[in-house]
Chain A
Amino acid sequence: MYQSFIGLEIHIQLLTESKVFCGCTNRFGDEPNTNVCPVCMGYPGVLPALNEEAIRLSYIVARTLNCELSPRAIFERKNYFYPDMPKNYQISQFSSPLGRNGWIDIEYAGKPRRVRIHEIHLEEDAGKMIHAGDMSLLDYNRAGTPLLEIVTEPDMEAGEEAEILLQNFRRTIRYLGVCDGNMEEGSMRCDANVSINLEGQGLGRKVEIKNLNSSRFVKMALNYEITRQKELFGKGGKIVQETRLWNENRDVTEPMRTKESAHDYRYFPEPDLPPFIPGAEFLAKVDKGLVELPEARKARFVKEYGLSAAAADFLVAEKATADFYEQTVKLGAAPAAAAAWLQFDVRKILNRDGKELADCPLTAGRLAQLLSLLADGRIHGKIAKQVLEAVFAEDKDPGQLIKEKGWQSMSDMSQLAALVDQALAANAAAVDAVKAGDRKPLGFLVGQIMKQTGGMAEPRLVQELLKQKIK
């Protein structure tokens, strides 16, 4: 009988070389206060200038999330006095953000759902503060780095749905290459808001939740908060419009002490930055940055390569894997074989060695070569796995490894036939047993020949020859 309404505010740090309004390095983990200059430290008399890559990446996200693009994106000063911002204001967007009225499609509880995007705006990130006893330590390396905020409409109803949206969004931004989406390091951050009301009564009083450092916490905090509000509502209590913090040690949300006046930001247009007007040339550059998204790619993989949904799901989870796969197929590998090898054998080695596909000795060219050697019968299955291991261990091409190690499979029929004859002569009892209808010794005989050839005989051919000869 209750309805819940969940909205998210997602912040992502854009992967630029430099900060959004100055030339300082944009990089996580440097020594404190090494990437600072008079602009981002708020010195008087400086002039910010907009980073063209930051604004391009922002519009790529806005286009991808189906937003209406602002013909005049205006930068505004959001005034607040807190030491994480040396200027006493944050350059942000308010009256005319760069994107509005978009949407993200997700699948939740087996049904397609459309979550609307209220707006997307570009702003500068704040510095970092460490509270230590009676003092605070300030690091302004992050101050002025480009931060994109995506605000959804309150279109979701459960913590699980918000988690799916976040995971879907994260995959998308990683596909676009605009952000690495690392919630632990804070390159992607999320605040949530939730209200409940009696069915059909519209939105309730909104409670905001902060301090959500993973998509799992987002889910847990929202579900906790929905239950809390329902219980309060049920007892005739009044829900207060407030900001609460997720306490990850106790798995509860707790009220955050804030001053009411803290939300009076007195926005006004940033006089040092002209509005940004996206022209045709700029928008063409934005279009170049658009990529096929995971969901669409998955559907195409199923249709074009005849893969199962599970295999396609695995391949598209990371763009690097999907690109690697398509490259391998383009180089002549059979789509099903390439998918299976990536999903099982290659993944097993990567997991074991703690390596990434993008950063390992296996290339699409090498996998395609290995699969073609296998398909042509030049090596057999067991050897192919050995070759794969060798590629990882020695960083060489499969063809070269096979030659060096003498791993070519023995498929010369007359040579094999001679070996089979020898084996038959040496194992008369086994031959008799097969003739009498027992098929088991057949495996034994194949094993004898494999052993004799150091595993190089093509087992399929050996088996065929044995069957022909024992009749």
Chain B
Amino acid sequence: MIHSMDVSELKITAELANLDLTGEDLASLGNEVEKILDYFSSMMEADTAGLAAGKAGSAANRLRPDVRTPGDADALLENAPELEGRFIVIPNVL
């Protein structure tokens, strides 16, 4: 088992993600993140000797030809909460 995540590490991670967490959030998130870490640590116990990351199942490179395949940009823009012309508008974050 990996060490459970200590609160200071959680705070730094939250800060990197631009999240303002209250003491309450930290407590409940702490538990949830710990569960995720537990899950990863049990995965890490699996024997992967001889398996290189990314090699499994892909002997050849996975490439796509340099061809334009335009999608429906307008449909994606409809999901934006606010538009100014075709620009997506968000609160100023300098």
B21 at the interface (CB under 8 A from A): no
Judge whether B89 and A35 touch: CB under 8 Å. Answer: no
Residue of B whose beta carbon sits closest to that of A18: B68
Q: Which of under 10, 10 to 19, 20 to 34, or 35 or more describes the interface residues of A?
A: 35 or more
Contact of B63 among A18, A50, A82, A261 (CB under 8 A): A50
CA distance A202 to B31 in the complex (A): 48
Judge whether A23 and B68 touch: CB under 8 Å. Answer: yes
Judge whether B70 and A24 touch: CB under 8 Å. Answer: yes
CA distance A297 to B53 in the complex (A): 44
Specify which chain A residues have a CB less than 8 angstroms from the CB of B17 in the assembled complex. 81, 88
The stretch among B22-30, B43-51, B54-62 that forms the contact with chain A is: B54-62
B18 at the interface (CB under 8 A from A): yes
CA distance A236 to B67 in the complex (A): 58
A53 at the interface (CB under 8 A from B): yes
Contact of A269 among B53, B64, B85 (CB under 8 A): B53
**What total count of A-B pairs have CB within 8 Å?**
122
Known: A52-B65, A274-B54. A31 touches B90 (CB 8 A): no
Tally of B interface residues using CB under 8 Å: 34
CA distance A261 to B58 in the complex (A): 36
Interface string of A15-55 (1 = CB under 8 A from B): 01110000111000001111111100100000001111111
CA distance A282 to B12 in the complex (A): 43
Contact of B15 among A51, A261, A279 (CB under 8 A): A261
Specify which chain B residues have a CB less than 8 angstroms from the CB of A282 in the assembled complex. 61
Judge whether B70 and A51 touch: CB under 8 Å. Answer: no
Specify which chain B residues have a CB less than 8 angstroms from the CB of A83 in the assembled complex. 90, 93
Specify which chain B residues have a CB less than 8 angstroms from the CB of A80 in the assembled complex. 16
Specify which chain B residues have a CB less than 8 angstroms from the CB of A133 in the assembled complex. 92
Judge whether A135 and B89 touch: CB under 8 Å. Answer: yes
A266 at the interface (CB under 8 A from B): yes
Judge whether B92 and A134 touch: CB under 8 Å. Answer: yes
Judge whether A35 and B73 touch: CB under 8 Å. Answer: yes
B66 at the interface (CB under 8 A from A): yes
Specify which chain A residues have a CB less than 8 angstroms from the CB of B91 in the assembled complex. 134-136
Interface string of A46-68 (1 = CB under 8 A from B): 00011111110000000000000
Q: Which of A51, A130, A136 has most B Cβ within 10 Å?
A: A136
> Can you name 7 A-B pairs with beta carbons within 8 Å?
A24-B71, A32-B86, A33-B87, A53-B65, A134-B92, A137-B89, A273-B62
Interface set of B (CB-CB < 8 Å, partner A): 12, 15-18, 53-55, 58, 61-71, 73, 76-77, 84-94
Known: A80-B16, A135-B92, A138-B90. 7 other contacts (CB 8 A): A17-B66, A23-B64, A24-B71, A53-B66, A135-B90, A261-B15, A274-B54
